[in-house]
Amino acid sequence: MENLGYYNGRYDLLERMTVPMNDRACYFGDGLFEVAYCRNYKIYSLDEHMDRLYDSAALIGIDIPHTKEELSDIICELVKKVDSHEQLVYWQVSRGTQLRNHAPAKDMKANVWITLRPMKLKDIYTPMSVISLEDTRFLHCNMKTLNLLPTVLASARAAQAGAEEAIFHRSGRVTECAHSNISIIQSDGSVKTAPADNMILAGVARAHLIKTCEKFGIPVYEEPYTMEELMAADEVIVTSSGTLCRPVSFVDGKAVGGKAPELLRKLQDALMQDFLDKTE
């Protein structure tokens, strides 16, 4: 198959799939999702993505109708049905199906969506241009919910400005990007990244960056930092499932980073090698 869509056990080409209008994802964005990349039909960091999904589901009271192992097995079998071995793997769980009502019914059965389409990991070595925006999202950013209108609008603003991402900040404090985490390499060679509180989604790629820094003995500070610190940093790094570790060269048209290329490349190479090794 060229691509694949799955809904509660039924699957077909994405172009042929439909879902019930009364699915609460359609009315309220009432659900959670995860995204990972697949190479050689092996999904990178699947266990970590599953842990985050089930942790978030527990926080908002969604009862996923499969164990982690069962859902992982379903996805792993589905990726084998797509022609390309390099895929973007997306899955979401909505709270369930009912006539529109803000208050969900009791004992509702959750719906499982999965979509698979050919896609290679992005080039992590080419610097990107970004813009900065005030973070006006709600205060549950630690859960990967379907409520993405603020990030959609921010991504549209970035595209209109000829940029690839948008950095969010709350009164000057950097939180994250529209669809990635952001960290900085400081002049002393340490890495600073926003704390994993309710202001950010603690990304799997962010966790990999922290572990790689620890492996190399690079100090990591998980604490708030400002836009001023970011603009003065030796390097500005975006991390996500699709980019792993990619540098930023311009913020709002102003040049940033480029002062610690060897350290940056060391981290990039290590993270890329981990991806290649675990999808071999």
Strand, coil or helix: 133: strand
Q: What is the DSSP letter of 256?
A: -
Output the six-digit token pair for 167.
Answer: 């950095």
The CB density around residue 156, as the number of other CB atoms within 10 Å, is 12
Residues designated catalytic: 144
Two tokens, residue 265: 């490349």
Non-local (6+) Cβ contacts of 165 within 8 A are 128, 130, 131, 155, 158, 177, 178, 179, 180, 238, 248
Instruction: Judge whether 184 and 247 are in contact, CB under 8 Å.
Output: no
* CA gap 34, 181 in Å, rounded: 15
Assess contact for 104 and 248: CB atoms under 8 A: no
**Residue 150 exposed, middle or buried by CB count within 10 Å (0-12, 13-18, 19+):** middle
Residues paired with residue 128 on neighbouring β-strands, in sequence order:
248
Beta bridge partners of 222: 193
DSSP SS3 for 49 = helix
Contact 185, 234 (CB under 8 A): yes
**8 Å CB contact between 256 and 231:** yes
Other beta carbons within 10 angstroms of residue 67's beta carbon come to: 11
